[in-house]
Chains A and B, each alone.
Chain A
């Protein structure tokens, strides 16, 4: 069966520090991968999606970047965090030809 792992679960970082959140998927090949952010009391905003290794599409201009160094690995990064980067970050995957998305447990990031 397919599983998705996302870590860390919680993170507190100072303003200006770097960020690296990792997400891996098991049990499937060539998945579509997604990073979403959920601000407090709000819906999910799509940040990045990837249809293959090294292929990243950005949905909104921001202080974050994403990379896909391996087929089932998706990394969310920042060189310098801002207070506004605080939120709940969710990684998700879907099969290449489908649209049903499966989510990780999320990372709660607090920038102080």
Chain B
């Protein structure tokens, strides 16, 4: 079955880079996403990557995909206190029900 796993917690200092990791089991995953959830709020889509790509960069965000190892990472450069939130990795396929399968989320704490 589908499974997405993430580490639960990451703490970094302001200005450092943050790397949040995710592994998934479904080899037919086509799309992989990173969502951000601030306290008490819904999920905000940060970025996504297609399975035929191995890297995508968007300003301070860099997504790396190792399809062979089914490993996805999100790197946030120059992490700011406003980046403190829970980050969810999610995957889906291009067929079937197309609902996202989420990891349990990684809580990023940025210390000033």
- Residues in A lying within 8 Å of B, measured CB to CB: 6, 32, 34, 36, 42-44, 46, 49, 57, 59, 90, 92, 94, 98-106, 108
Contacts and interface: CB of A to CB of B under 8 A. Distances in A.
A96 B23 CA distance: 27
Contacts, number: 55
Contacts of A92: 43
8 contacts: A32-B98, A43-B88, A43-B105, A46-B101, A57-B97, A99-B98, A103-B44, A108-B40
A103 B92 contact: no
Interface of B: 4, 30-31, 33, 35, 40-45, 48, 88, 92-94, 97-105
A41 B95 CA distance: 30
B97 A49 contact: yes
Given A106-B41, A106-B42, A42 B104 contact: yes
Contacts of B45: 100-102
B98 A105 contact: no
A59 B2 CA distance: 13
Contact of B94 (A32, A36, A99, A105): A99
A44 B42 contact: no
B88 A99 contact: no
Contacts of A49: 97, 99
A68 B52 CA distance: 35
A94 B45 CA distance: 12
| Most B C-beta atoms less than 10 A away, residue of A44, A57, A94, A103 | A44
A87 B97 CA distance: 24
